Structure 1
Amino acid sequence: MIDRRLRNTALLVAACYFMENLDGTIVTTAIPQISASLNATAATVSLVVTAYLLALATLIPLSGWLTQRFGSRVIFLTAIIIFTLASLGCGLSQNVETLILMRVVQGIGGAMMVPVGRMVVLGHTEKEDLIRITAYIIWPALIAPVIAPLLGGIITEYFSWHWMFLINIPIGIACFVAAWILIDEQDAQKTAPLDIVGAILTTASLGAITWGAHMMSEASYSTSIGVLILLMGVGLLVIAVRHLLRVDTPLLNLRTLSIETFRVSTFGFFMYALIVWSVPFILPLLFQEVFGWSPVQSGAAVLWVFAGNISIKPATTWMLNRFGFRNNLLFATTGVTLSVAAFSMLRADTPFIVIAILAFVSGVFRSIGFTAYNTLAFSDVPKGSTTREASALFATVQQVAGAIGIVVTMLAITAGFRWGSFLSGDDLQNAYSFAFITMAIIATVPLMMATRISPQAGDQLRKH
């Protein structure tokens, strides 16, 4: 039974998730305008999104250790303060370097905010209530992406992109007040020493991979040096994994992957999230850079992706109960693959209604997959410290996937200028079509992985 306090706490976490999603999604609509305002290329401004996600990914593992060391209430409240003040810093930025730096600070706050809140909620949730409580957290959070594209377009076109960050401030203040009331004081626990080596290796490897790929997508940098840095990052990642598996108290407990449902959900979700995070990033660029649309027109079109997201959400619990996790994941991954492939055929003269329907359908599949993966991942994870460790790992994977997805998208667009000539269109159109085809091919990976999930996976969560 979900009591009133637990439900309200879950909604508080959802509100913080709302703030994060609004901040991340609203930026993509304004990338062309930020580029012009700060005299930077779109690839450089993409670091405004990537730096935030990468900071989230690399610092989320610390959230579990910090929560044990200082208590969930202290960390959660501190995270909200950091995120809100960083939003103010973003809004006041006058150059791309400051903006990227403030986004990193936002990532520091976000890395502690939602993961710690989710740990608090899941730590007090019974297995039979897991589907419902997950819906409480995810469903309201999807409202932000619904309004973000159009809101971002309106703010960018009629005001200034700076105001996209400033709207987080009243939300952050409200979340702080609610957290002060709802989150109980938790005594600090005796903690193992922080895995400093693991933190350095993880941060360095992910940073090198992202920066190397960024250099490969940016014409002003040397491609060969970018490849070298990328390979160095991969090498460091291999060393990091070996370290995390060897030490007794790792920064990220990879041993949680021994739980089968958690393992298949985590790997499948990484590839799935890589694709679905890239779509809201590339669509505004296509509409504004290729089709010549205004920010408001672009935002209105991208809005339909998230309208599909939220419209299907009330039915996802019923779908999981009725058809099971494997069938829903097969359905979602197939739909995402086909819809991303269909985006490659869009042209400037494509009727808006066709674009809206395709975006809406894409959002429906996106939402089904997100809910299924997020719920199935924790179906067999024991409550307690294992839940905390699994939550940190899963949240890290999600943010890494988002950062890598954006970088891969920019790489695919760059490659499209070189290898997209077989497509019918001008060079710019072909580059984007090539990128969508590339992402659709990658989307077949989680589809294949979904076929390997047991038909009985997560059955203990279903209410027939």
Structure 2
Amino acid sequence: MSQTTTAAQAPLADGALRWIPFLVAAAFFMENLDATVITTALPQMAASFGVAPARLSIGMSAYMLALAVFIPVSGWLADRFGPRRVFCSAIVVFTLASLLCGLCTSLWQFTAARILQGLGGAMMVPVGRLVVLRNTQRKDLVRAIATITWPGLVAPVIGPPVGGLITTWLSWHWIFLLNVPLGVIAWLAALRLIRGDGAQSRPFDVFGFVSSGIGCSAVMMGLEAASHQPVAPLWVGGLLLAGLAALAVTVWHMRRVGNPLVDLSALRIPTFAVTIVGGSLFRIAIGSAPFLLPLMFQLAFGLSAVQSGMLMLALFAGNLCMKPATSWIMRRFGFRNVLVGNGLLVAVGFAACAGLMPNTPLAIIAAVLFFGGLCRSMQFTALNTIGFADVPQARMTGATTLFSVFQQMNAGMGIAFGALALRIAEVVHGQVAGTPGVSEFHLAFGLVALIALLAVGDSLLLARNAGAEVSGPTPAEATIANQSRRTSR
């Protein structure tokens, strides 16, 4: 073996291992925040570009489509060029695209820059997760996954108020320009911390790339169109059917070829299948909350945007407060018990939102949201950790890519389902048009609670010791094991 190859495959320094999850979490946070912080800046951006605010949706759609198209290819790039090179390059692309977004003077310039930014984000998320999973021991996986999970929970909650503050006190350009120093710091840290970068050559699956790109794009466009009012049923239905058909062809193709773009074999592992099937339902339910809650507070309860934003921070507080306890809880009760028991509490949290009234004291509303933040943080970490608990290193690239594809699509599904649930509630209550009221929001949250309840179903099928290699045996299991060892002596 040559000296170059040996150096490329050198392991990470022991001191760096502890900091890599924080580096990846920071990159994830930058990407997730950027996807949500823009919403409150749309009116000012539209005025700057000289277009109607509704036309700015093309910039947001372009970003989502770039993610949908290029996430499936991230695994192949990581294998071909090495995770270190791809992750560092993704940070550079995302940072450069952020600078271009901040310098744009027209809608079309902004759209092109957002596509480039989506390309960087598509590489950053799955490859960053792969870097963590490849360089984390099983016993430390719970802590590492808990660290890189919080950006997906926190960014959608604090994104809109942060965007409002930046737009009010500075200008919309700084939403993107602030990514530049952060990106430079992240890039330097990645070069310093990440060492090993073994690469392997395998053929590029052109058909899989094209078909998955068409399928994911059509589904994302259909979900985005479904979240708009009024809904165009034929257009939405046509996009979703076309996308699902293309994805079905993609799955058929990838199961037949020797070197598929995405290895689907990890779906045969029960613990990974849970985070895809039940995990998708859970993420859809969770993704509807940042859409439905602010609407209910402002349209049905008559609260101001500031009051609504402050209440949403209670979710953020719950997420952070649960984080230190996640490892202990999973070791104490085991993955299966946590996924089932805490999953039921998530459904209870949504049902509690359906019981809130305009005259409910703000402290009680905040307490309900804080409780929901605690439960959803626990469930996110448990699902994300058990999903990779039994995946061998040989399948890790395909598993992380597949997980990222579903995670991105679930985010769009959450918003679309929230809009659909609200529309169903309006139809049930005979409200054809107008502003939804308290009863409509209550029914919508009832439907979300039902989805969260259904998400618990496949967790019941897990073995009682599922993921024990990662979480460690529960006290009861440890007692049984000790008794068994004493008996064998």
CA displacement at 1:176 relative to structure 2 = 1.0
- 8 Å contact 1:154–1:295 — kept in the other structure? no
Tell which structure's C-alpha radius of gyration is larger: 2
Q: Is the CA contact 1:15–1:141 (under 8 Å) kept in the aligned structure 2? A: no
In the alignment, is residue 449 of structure 1 matched against residue 464 of structure 2?
no
Task: Write out aligned runs for 1:166-181 (5 A).
Answer: 166-181=177-192
Among candidates 252, 265, 270, match of residue 275 of structure 2: 265
The offset of 1:220, in angstroms, is 5.8
Question: 1:95–1:107: structure 2 CA closer, same or farther, 3 Å change rule?
Answer: same
Residues 1:119 and 2:127 aligned together: no
Residue from 246, 257, 263 that aligns with 1:247:
257
CA RMSD of aligned residues (A): 3.1
Shift of 1:29: 5.6
Partner SS for 1:314: helix
Partner of residue 309, structure 2: 299
**Residues 1:213 and 1:133: Cα distance change in structure 2 (over 3 Å):** closer
Aligned equivalents of 1:432, 1:86: Cα separation in 2 = 38
- CA–CA distance in 2 between the matches of 1:85 and 1:169? 7
Question: What is the CA–CA distance in structure 1 between the aligned matches of 2:430 and 2:44, rounded to whole Å?
Answer: 28
How far did 1:14 drift? 1.5
Selected match of 1:408 from 408, 414, 417: 417
Match among 16, 22, 35 for residue 24 of structure 1? 35
Residue 313 of structure 1 corresponds to: 323
- Summarize the Cα distance change of 1:300–1:189 in structure 2 as closer, same or farther, 3 Å threshold: same
- The structure 1 residue matched to 2:469, chosen from 457, 460, 463, is 460
By how many angstroms is 1:9 displaced? 2.0
TM-score normalised by length of structure 1:
0.88
Q: Identify which of 434, 446, 454 aligns with 1:437.
A: 446
Q: Secondary structure at the match of 2:18?
A: helix
Asked if 1:39 corresponds to 2:48, the answer is no
Q: 1:229 to 1:435 in 2, by over 3 A?
A: same
SS in 1 for 2:135: coil
Q: Is the 8 A contact 1:213 1:411 kept in 2?
A: no
CA distance in 2, matches of 1:357, 1:29: 26
Alignment-derived partner of residue 183 in structure 1? 194
Q: What is the CA–CA distance in structure 1 between the aligned matches of 2:90 and 2:441, rounded to whole Å?
A: 37
2:26 to 10, 15, 21: 15
For structure 1, which segment, 160-169 or 241-250, has the greater mean C-alpha deviation from structure 2 after superposition?
Answer: 160-169
**Counterpart-to-counterpart distance in 2, 1:50 and 1:439:** 25
How far, CA to CA, are the matches of 2:244 and 2:457 in structure 1?
24
Q: Aligned match of 2:397 in 388, 410, 426?
A: 388
Conservation of the 8 A alpha-carbon contact between 1:198 and 1:244: yes
CA contact (8 A) 1:68 1:190 kept: yes
Contact 1:50–1:406 (8 Å) recurs in 2: no
Q: Give 1:35 deviation, angstroms.
A: 8.1
8 Å contact kept, 2:156–2:290 = no
1:201 paired with 2:214, answer: no
Q: Indicate if the aligned counterparts of 2:22 and 2:147 stay in contact, CA closer than 8 A.
A: yes
Cα distance in 1 for residues equivalent to 2:456 and 2:34:
29
Q: Would the aligned equivalents of 1:84 and 1:168 in 2 still touch at CA under 8 Å? A: yes
Cα separation, partners in 2 of 1:292 and 1:279, compared to 1, 3 Å? same
- Residue 476 of structure 2 is matched in structure 1 by none
* Superposition map of 1:84-99 within 5 A: 84-92=95-103, 99=110
1:81 maps to 92
The structural deviation recorded for 1:290 is: 4.6
- Tell me the TM-score normalized by structure 2: 0.84
SS at match of 1:121: helix
Is contact 2:274–2:383 with CA below 8 Å preserved after alignment?
A: no
What is the alpha-carbon distance in structure 1 between the residues aligned to residue 148 and residue 265 of structure 2?
Answer: 26
Give the Cα separation in 1 of the matches to 2:294 and 2:56.
Answer: 14
Q: Percent identity?
A: 42
More divergent stretch after superposition (13-22 vs 223-232): 223-232
Q: Deviations over 1:365-390 (max 9, x none)?
A: 1100111011111111112x311221
More moved, 26-35 vs 6-15: 26-35
CA distance in 1, matches of 2:317, 2:108: 33
Single out whichever of 325-334 and 347-356 deviates more from structure 2: 347-356
Deviates more, 1:82-91 or 1:301-310: 82-91
Cα pair distance change 1:288/1:36, threshold 3 Å: farther
Deviations 1:243-298, CA, capped at 9 Å, x for gaps? 12111111221111111211122212111111112212332333345545444333
* 1:79-123 deviation line (CA, Å, top 9, x unaligned): 011212222344455676665554443221111113212212221
Q: Deviations over 1:27-52 (max 9, x none)?
A: 456678778986345xx767766654
- For structure 2, the residue ranges without an aligned partner over 5 or more in a row are 1-11, 474-489
Residue 163 (structure 2) aligns with: 152
- Cα deviation, 1:122-177, whole Å, max 9, x if unaligned, reads 21222222223323433577665675454334234444444333322221111011
Check whether the contact 2:215–2:247 (CA below 8 A) recurs between aligned residues: yes
Q: Is 1:151–1:299's contact at 8 Å kept on the other side of the alignment?
A: no
Residues 1:138 and 2:149 aligned together: yes
Q: Unpaired segments of 5 or more residues in structure 1? A: none
SS in 2 for 1:246: coil
Q: Are residues 420 and 250 of structure 1, via their aligned partners in 2, closer, same or farther at CA, if it must alter by over 3 Å?
A: farther
What's 2:243 paired with?
A: 233
Q: Distance in 1 between matches of 2:151 and 2:305?
A: 25
Q: Quick one: which of 286, 303, 310 aligns to 2:296?
A: 286
Give the superposition deviation at 1:362: 0.9
User: Do the aligned residues in 2 keep the contact of 1:195 with 1:249 (CA within 8 Å)?
Assistant: yes
How many residues matched? Answer: 459
* C-alpha distance in structure 2 between counterparts of 1:155 and 1:285, whole Å: 22
Q: SS state of the match for residue 262, structure 2? A: coil
The alignment status of 1:342 with 2:352, answered yes or no, reads: yes
What letter matches 1:121 in structure 2? Answer: V
Counterpart amino acid of 2:382? A
Aligned mates of 1:95, 1:325 — CA distance in 2:
50
Is the Cα–Cα contact under 8 Å of residues 32 and 151 in structure 2 kept in the other structure?
no
Task: Report the secondary structure of 1:427's partner residue.
Answer: coil
Q: Which residue of 2 aligns with 1:356?
A: 366
One-letter code aligned to 2:84 = R
Q: Which amino acid aligns with 1:6?
A: L
Q: Which moved more, 1:83-92 or 1:437-446?
A: 83-92
Secondary structure, aligned partner of 1:451: helix
Structure 2: distance between partners of 1:367 and 1:283: 17
